[in-house]
Structure 1
């Protein structure tokens, strides 16, 4: 039996598993001061993960659970994607200290960019490419708004790449390592990009929101890149719809989103030329 922990601010996770490879596989994605072989006594753990083999058959024997709640079963060759999805599930379903929105978040020169978008929109691809161009990654999946000050709390984790986005990253950045390419998952082929050293080093530092960008990759778009201003009312509605716990925050959630939208510039982005869109975003936002 293996016991280890992840200390990725603002959450700490204790993992118990009978997999002989999980901890070693995760070491390619997390630095040693984040992934630790034994729990630290003075830490209060936000989640205890039970990720063990609970079925003796050949198909999907590993179960990802926290407490009495079951998330998903997994085959041995899909432990990493199920683990990463499971951590997202824990945070989206159970934490209530931050207002959480499904979005990528990056920061440059003290200003943060929020990118909410559904699967297939190119969000993770843009997030990864901007990170590799010097932006600090706060999260690829979770925009966490601190109710105390309206700032964005980092939750640095590996960037999840799916299907065609894996090849896009390797074409643009051939020297960058892509880890744990896993085919035939529920989301197709999945792989992971390790956050940059800058992102890990500043994982405790909050960021001030400056822009909200709704990206949409369209292979047959008439224009290579089109950037439009978004009405603030539409922006607020879309953010509320994509929040994991807006209903829990109730009136406070409306206040936080209203403040966020009022103090940021909002855009709709449609693109088919990835290189050009990176240049335009750097010019427009920096």
Structure 2
């Protein structure tokens, strides 16, 4: 299938590929109504992706790029993780309508939880487990702040699980379907969990930010330790982990200041995931 499109609000993507499997592989992760086997001639796409085989050699022949900008090469057995990482790159590097922060976002009862955290903190694991406990997923990777009203715009995509977190999620809910387990990537073994039906159905519903939690998994730590974060530290960390804070300039500072002022911030250190989930839901709900 040389051309197809993906419409996951708020962005739409046109994909050109010569991979015989990419469309079908993505159909396991995205609903049929979002993944279309064609493109619309009159539609303005946010991103035009070229993901084709450009070398005949055996080592990483597929290239992911948008326009003249190259992102990454990939082997045929790593097309899905490269595609998902590539979409993150497109949004983080090129969209400027939202202030974007590297963070997971979930919602319950109309209020949103933001979880910014570095790799290895357990952010994606917590995101997946909270979704399985009934929270609505807005994003596993992107906190998108609407500068007009300060609300959080969903960007629903599959949850990326890595290494040990794959088995943690499977043990938490036996029988759960986890797709495209791919070993030996630059991030180790990667696999994907489909968002819940409710998350897809409410992909156009913004949420009001209420909490910011910085998770930190530490094997030698207490089962759960919770600390209130100073607002100044929270603001600094969010600015450092924003993809386009410098582009928004003074408006970005104003948006983050408003976000921090209107939310409560915590640092959560844990070694026991189940106790942590119970503590988190008691605290927030």
Please indicate the TM-score interval, normalised by the length of the shorter structure.
over 0.9
The aligned runs of 1:131-210 (5 Å cut-off) are 131-210=131-210
- Whole-angstrom CA distance in 1 between matches of 2:43 and 2:272: 46
Hey, what's the Cα distance between the residues in 2 that align with 1:70 and 1:122? 30
Q: In 1, distance between residues paired with 2:88 and 2:64?
A: 12
> Which stretch of structure 1 is more off in the superposition, 37-46 or 100-109?
37-46
Q: Which residue of 2 aligns with 1:34?
A: 34
- CA distance in structure 2 between the partners assigned to 1:204 and 1:260 by the alignment: 21
Aligned structure 1 segments of 4 or more residues deviating by more than 2 angstroms: 40-43
Q: Which runs of 5+ in 1 are unaligned?
A: none
TM-score by length of 1: 0.99
TM-score (norm 2): 0.99
**Counterparts of 1:39 and 1:120 in 2: how far apart (Å)?**
38
Tell me, in whole angstroms, the C-alpha distance in 1 between the residues paired with 2:147 and 2:173: 37
Q: Deviations over 1:70-91 (max 9, x none)?
A: 0000000000000000000000
Shift of 1:174: 1.1
Describe how 1:63-142 pairs up with structure 2 within 5 A: 63-142=63-142
- Alpha-carbon shift at residue 234 of structure 1 (Å): 0.2
- Aligned counterpart, 1:267: 266
TM-aligned CA deviation for residue 282 of structure 1: 0.9
Is there any run of 5+ residues in structure 2 with no aligned partner, and where?
A: none
Count matched residues. Answer: 285
1:235 paired residue number: 234
Q: Distance in 1 between matches of 2:176 and 2:11?
A: 28
Secondary structure of the residue aligned to 2:15 is strand
Q: Take 1:252 and 1:282, find their aligned partners in 2: how far apart are those partners?
A: 33
How far 1:273 sits from its partner (Å)? Answer: 0.4
42-51 or 139-148, which deviates more: 42-51
Counterparts of 1:112 and 1:175, CA distance in 2: 28
